[in-house]
Amino acid sequence: MNTSEFIKKYATHPNYKAPTGTKINAKSWQTEAPLRMLLNNLDAEVAENPQELVVYGGTGQAARNVESVQKIIANLLELDENHSLLVQSGKPVGIVRSHPQAPRVLIANSNLVPQWATWDHFNKLKENGLMMYGQMTAGSWIYIGSQGILQGTYETFVACGQKYFKGDLRGKLLVSGGLGGMGGAQPLAATMAGATFLGVDVDPTRIQKRLDTKYIDKMTYSYKEARDWALAAKKQGQAISIGLVADIGDTLKNLLTDNIVPDILTDQTSAHDPINGYVPNGLTLDAAIELRSKTPKDYQSRSLKSMARHVGFMLEMQNRGSRTFDYGNNLREFARQGGEARAFDFPGFVPEYIRLLFCEGKGPFRWAALSGDPKDIYTTDQALIEAFPENKHMINWLQEAQKKVAFQGLPCRICWLGMGEREKAGLIFNELVKSGKVKAPLVIGRDHLDCGSVASPNRETEGMRDGTDAVSDWPLLNLMSNASGGATWISFHHGGGVGIGFSQHAGMVVLADGSDRAEECLKRVLFNDPALGIMRHADAGYEKALAMGEKFGVKI
C-alpha cells in the first residue's frame, strides 16, 4: 500500500483510524508504533475534535494541520532504523541520521524563550500557522482517552479519602466542574472510589460522551434534579455519578444558597487557557464561541473575572468544611489575575496527595495493544496480577478497570507503578510478545505528569521542599536520559496542563516488540525514567526518595 492509499484508508480528514493486526505498513514496528498511536490520538473515539486535530484540553493538538499529519505519515511509512524524524510543534521538519536503538521520532511542542512565553505571543504564532499547543499526551501521541487520567484521578480521590475520611468515601459528595478531556475521567474515578459525584459542564456534548462511554451514570439540565439525585445518593451511600449541564460558578452559588457543602470539591475545567478553554459566566456556549472569535481580549477578561468568581465560591465552600483542592488546571493563578487575592488559599493536588508517591518513583504507567485486540490487554492485566501479588491496590484497580472501563480506539490500560515495577512490567510485556501470548507489539508510555518529567510550579512541583518549584533542568535531564536509553519516541513540551508560561515537561514511549533490541532499551528506559523522579526528589531533600534510591541502586 502506497502513502496515498494508506491516507485514503486510515487518514482521510477528519476520519482517522489506527491500523490493527499483525501486518505492518511501515518498515518496522519501531515506526509502525508511532504511526498507529498518532492515528489513534485522532480517532473520533479518542479525540475531542478531530476536525481541528484537537485531542483534549480545548486546543491540545496531535499535529499542526492536515498537511503536517499527511507528511508525518509519509515519513513514518518510509523511515528506516538508521534515521529519526524531527517534529517541531506538530510539523515534520527534517530527518537526521541516528542508529537502531535511538528514538525514531523526536518531538518538541510549544516551546518558547521565557521572555516570550505568553499566551499572546503563542496565539500570534498559532494564528500564522507557526506553532501548535501540544498539551501533554496530545502532541506526543500517547493519549488513550479518558482512561489515561482515570487512574491518576482515582488515586487522588482515594488518597483524599485515606487522608480525611478514614479511607471510606461512601456517603461522601464530590463536586467538580469540567467533564471534557481529562475532566471526563472524574465521574467514573469518583464512583470507583466509592463517592457520590456531581459534575458540571456547560457543553452537553461532553457529558453525553461520558454517558456513551459509561463514565457517567445520569445527565440533566436541571439544577434541582441534579441536586436531589445527589443528595438522595449521598444519603443512601450510593456511588453514582451525575452530569449537570450548567455553569460551574452558578452551580456552586446555588449549592451555597441551599446550604449544601460537598465533602470534596475540585475542578477540571479547561482553565489553563482563558480564551480557548474556559467559558465565561453569563454566556451560552454559542455566544462564547462568537465572542472568542470576534474579540478575544474581551473574552479573556471575562474569563479571568469568571474564574475569580468561581474560586471565590470554592473558598467559601472550603470555609464551610469542604476539602477543596486545585486539580492542576491553573485555575487559581487565573483567578488571582481576575481579582481573587486569596486564590492560592487552597492547595494543589500534588503536594496534598501525590508527592510521596513521586518520591517512590511512582506514576502513570500506560500501554497500548497495537494488535487492536482487547484480549491482549486482558493478557497483560493477568500477567501483572501474577507478577505483583503483593500489590493489592494495583490488582483491585485492574480488576475494576476490566469491568468498568470502556476502551476508546486501540485497547489500552494504565496503572501507577513505581521504581523497579516499571522495568519488571516492561520485560514481562516484551516476553509476552516474543512468546506470541499477545498478538502484536505493545507500546509503553506515560502521562507527562510523572515523578521526574515535569517542572510546573502551580501543579507537579508546587511547594518543593527546597524551593526549586520552577527549575526545569529536571525534565530536560529526563528527556536526555530517555533519548540515551533508547525510548522509541520522545517529546519535550511547554505549557501542558496549566497553560503557556507555566510548565515544561518531557514524554517518552518505548516499544515492546519481543526483540533483544527492545529488551535492552526497556531495561534502560524503564530504569532511567522513574530514577529521575527519585533523583529529583532526593535532591530536594525528601527522605523517602533518598531511601528509595538506596533500595533500588539509584546513584544519587
CB atoms within 10 A of CB 259: 7
Query: Distance (Å, rounded) from C-alpha 509 to C-alpha 456?
Result: 21
Whole-angstrom CA distances from 18 to 73, 78, 262, 414, 448 are 11, 17, 42, 19, 23
Query: Could you say which of 412, 415, 451, 521 is catalytic?
Result: 415
Question: Backbone phi, then psi, for 366, in 5-degree steps?
Answer: -130, 155
Question: Backbone phi, then psi, for 538, in 5-degree steps?
Answer: -65, -40
Whole-angstrom CA distances from 144 to 136, 182, 280, 365, 509 are 12, 10, 29, 12, 13
Joined together, the cell numbers standing for residue 4 give 496515498
Describe the chain by its helix, strand, coil percentages, rounded to 5. 45, 15, 40
The answer to whether the CB of 398 falls within 8 A of the CB of 388 is no
Count of all residues that appear for the chain in the document: 556
Q: Nearest to residue 379, comparing CAs of 402, 404, 405?
A: 402
Secondary structure class of 534 (helix, strand, coil): helix
The answer to whether the CB of 532 falls within 8 A of the CB of 161 is no
Query: Distance (Å, rounded) from C-alpha 205 to C-alpha 517?
Result: 45
Q: Nearest to residue 444, comparing CAs of 465, 427, 469?
A: 427
Query: Distance (Å, rounded) from C-alpha 203 to C-alpha 289?
Result: 12
For residue 181, what is the DSSP state?
Answer: G
Angle at 406 between CA 404 and CA 407, to 5 degrees: 140
Handedness of CA 72, 76, 78, 84 (dihedral sign): positive
Query: Distance (Å, rounded) from C-alpha 292 to C-alpha 300?
Result: 8
Secondary structure class of 253 (helix, strand, coil): helix
The answer to whether the CB of 368 falls within 8 A of the CB of 37 is yes
Joined together, the cell numbers standing for residue 226 give 441534579
Query: Distance (Å, rounded) from C-alpha 507 to C-alpha 448?
Result: 5
Query: Distance (Å, rounded) from C-alpha 102 to C-alpha 86?
Result: 13
Burial group, residue 208, by CB count within 10 angstroms (0-12, 13-18, 19+): middle
Examine the residue annotation and report whether 412 is marked as an active-site residue of this protein: no
Catalytic positions, please? Answer: 415
